[in-house]
Amino acid sequence: MKDDDLMILFLGRLVGVKGVDKLIMSMPHVLSKFPNAKLVIVGVGDLQEYLMNLARTMRLEEYIRFRFDFIPEEERILHYAACDVAVFPSYYEPFGIVALEAMAMEKPVVVGAAGVSGMREIVIIRGEEQCGYHIDPNTPSDIAWGIANALENPEKREWLGKNGRKRVLQEFTWNRIAEKTLELYEQMIRR
């Protein structure tokens, strides 16, 4: 990758429910607006060969980098630090720790928000606290819409990223989660 390339990062299991194939299919739309965009896909799973063939069939090899590996935390942090936007177009996601990791690293996030999605609750999509975008993971053009909005300009990326980190520190630290859990138990006992 070159210095002026825009890096789109997907990190996770390479299985159907994660929507990585639709993310690859979104790349022609993204590239029409950002010809210097590169998609980096990191993970392992059943779809590795299918995803490589899809990228080849769509003639996107020079725009997509695969790393079929389960990487340790230090390396995940470096990937988040290097990217311009993190994209997780899952069809189903009970929670979505990867979105929190990207937000903690001050990166804008684009997340699937159809069906059951814990990421829909994590990612604020409007107002002063906006930190990313919700997309329909079934629609490549909608995934591209989210990516394009996040990449629009460096100031916006920075603003979304700072909001994301602030949200993680306010709502998703272990202390805060423990407090929320205790509050929930107290409510249940009172009932």
Please give the average per-residue pLDDT across 125-147, as a whole number.
Answer: 97
Predicted confidence band of residue 172 (pLDDT cuts 50, 70, 90): confident
* Mean pLDDT computed over 127-133: 96
Q: What is the pLDDT of residues 53-82, one digit of tens each?
A: 999 999 999 999 999 999 999 999 999 999
For the chain, what are the domain ranges?
A: 6-190
CA dist 156 and 160 (Å) reads 6
By percentage, how much of the chain surpasses pLDDT 70? 99
More confident residue, 7 or 174: 7
The reported pTM is: 0.92
Cα–Cα distance, 98 to 90 (Å, whole number): 11
Determine the average pLDDT of the residues in 150-173. Answer: 95
Average pLDDT of 35-54?
A: 98
Q: Compute the residue count for the chain.
A: 191
Q: List Cβ neighbours of 35 (8 Å cut-off, separation of 6 or more).
A: none
Query: For residues 152 and 29, what is the distance between their CA atoms, to the nearest angstrom?
Result: 14
Cβ density class 74-109: b for 16+ within 10 Å, e for less: eebeebbeebbbbbbbbbebeebebbbbbbbbbbbb
Q: The domain 6-190 belongs to what CATH superfamily?
A: Glycogen Phosphorylase B; (3.40.50.2000)
Average pLDDT of 134-161? 97
pLDDT at position 181: 87
Please state at what angle helix 20-33 crosses helix 48-57, rounded to 10 degrees: 30
